[in-house]
Amino acid sequence: MKLLVTGGAGFIGSNFVHHTLATHPEWKPVVLDKLTYAGNLKNLEPALQQGRCEFVQLDICDRAVLDAVRGCDAVIHFAAESHVDRSIEDAAAFVRTNVDGTHNLIQACREAGVPRFLHVSTDEVYGSLGEEGEFTEESPLQPNSPYAATKAASDLLVLAYVRTHKFAAVVTRCSNNYGPYQFPEKFIPLMIAQAMAGERLPVYGKGSNVRDWIHVSDHCTALDAVLQRGREGEVYNIGGRCEKRNLEVAKLILATLGRSESLIQFVSDRKGHDLRYAINCEKLERELGWRPEIGFDQGLERTIAWYRENMPWLDDVRTGQYRDYFQKHYVQREKTFAP
Ligand code: NAD
Ligand code: DAU
């Protein structure tokens, strides 16, 4: 299967490429990524060096995506602006990439006759919960942040093309991921990086907001199942059945790293901060037999170990060096990387 992975140099996309190479060695992943600040080709080593994966640097808003999708058996669409705080500062790039870019990609896939499209979305499209209840696929879409609004718009576009044009697509909505290669602006890697450096951990408000955490490997196995067996036109929730308050997570990270809780610094709350997310993923479990397998304690420990063992990766990201990698290594060695 020739599989185009948009956003494959980002956190979840790169984990999905590694998952694919490990579990479906016969598949040929092609990563299409603009390489924004969130894209890092180091996430794809050694797959690129071994020629097991091809890379195309392209913006999903570019008309040239048509050439990239031609001949693909499936497209899995991760590319997006993904950080809520950035969308609160300025949402223009979110509207452009998440809405216009997704639309451009849909049009290209239709024109090229791509037989399968998986749109990777988020539980944030459902908005926020109070202390009780959970999101099902039937919950109304009530996005609160500009990021979530653009993701909801892209979901609706995909589903509208399914209804109107019989576009062969399926949509997933997942809860908060954590694991290797996550950019350290997101809560868990930021807390780990700060704790390792003995610096303050900025916790918004009182740290009482709740997120449903899932290890990225479990998200990847769910996406694999949906890509292969999900019913066309359907939405599948994906979650870890693992609700935690932010403060609890920060304390757990400090304890694992042997650091004092006095490093926690309560800072101004995020504007419009969603209180709680909780995902009901029974549909996916029932229809496709998927289950999350990595418990939070084990997953967090592994993740902390990964960041500890990959200090050069973290340093490169924090200093901005990772942005030179494409120029220094890929451009000169293009022939080696592209099989
Ligand atoms: P990320 O920010 O780590 O990666 C996004 C990738 O998309 C980067 O490699 C970036 O370079 C690329 N990209 C951005 N704009 C592009 C454009 N115009 N053209 C081509 N490539 C572009 O994001 P992530 O956390 O890996 O999330 C991936 C997807 O999963 C997103 O669609 C996000 O909404 C969704 N999601 C994320 C989570 C989570 O917890 N991180 C949970 C549920 C769903
Ligand atoms: O639910 C899925 C979503 O999870 C994805 O769609 C998004 O792409 C992803 O970024 C994530 O969104 P969140 O806003 O939930 O994740 P973030 O890591 O930014 O924040 C998690 C929680 O931690 C949230 O309640 C805000 C809080 N937080 C975050 C940061 C960056 C802090 O307290 N301090 C911080 O410095």
pLDDT tens for residues 27-64? Answer: 999 999 999 999 999 999 989 988 999 999 999 999 99
Dist. CA 331–CA 170, nearest whole Å: 35
Dist. CA 334–CA 209, nearest whole Å: 45
Encoding tokens for residue 225?
Answer: 């199942």
- Does residue 260 belong to any structural domain of this protein? no
Point out which residues pair with 202 in neighbouring strands.
Answer: 265
Mean pLDDT over 276-283 rounds to 98
Mean pLDDT over 91-98 rounds to 98
> Residues 202-221: pLDDT tens digits?
999 999 999 999 999 999 99
Enumerate the active-site residues: 123-124, 147
- Does residue 184 belong to any structural domain of this protein? no
- Does residue 257 belong to any structural domain of this protein? no
State the residue range of the domain holding 143.
2-175+216-239+278-296+320-337
- Does residue 271 belong to any structural domain of this protein? no
Which of 16, 19, 61, 82 to probe ligand 1 with, by most ligand atoms within 8 A of CB?
82
- Does residue 136 belong to any structural domain of this protein? yes
Give yes or no for residue 189 CB within 6 A of ligand 1: no
Nearest residue to 13 (alpha-carbon basis) of 170, 232, 177: 177
Residue 338 has pLDDT above 70, yes or no: no
Dist. CA 267–CA 84, nearest whole Å: 16
> Domains in the chain: how many in total?
1
Distance 281 CA to ligand 2 centre (A): 20
For residue 98, what is the domain's CATH number? 3.40.50.720
- Does residue 144 belong to any structural domain of this protein? yes
| Percentage of the chain modeled with pLDDT above 70 | 96
The whole-model pTM stands at 0.97
Q: Residue whose CA is closest, atom 22 of ligand 2?
A: 187
Dist. CA 157–CA 207, nearest whole Å: 35
| Percentage of the chain modeled with pLDDT above 90 | 92
**CB-based pocket (< 6 A), ligand 2:** 82-84, 122-124, 175-176, 186-187, 190, 202-204, 209, 211, 246, 270, 277
- Does residue 103 belong to any structural domain of this protein? yes
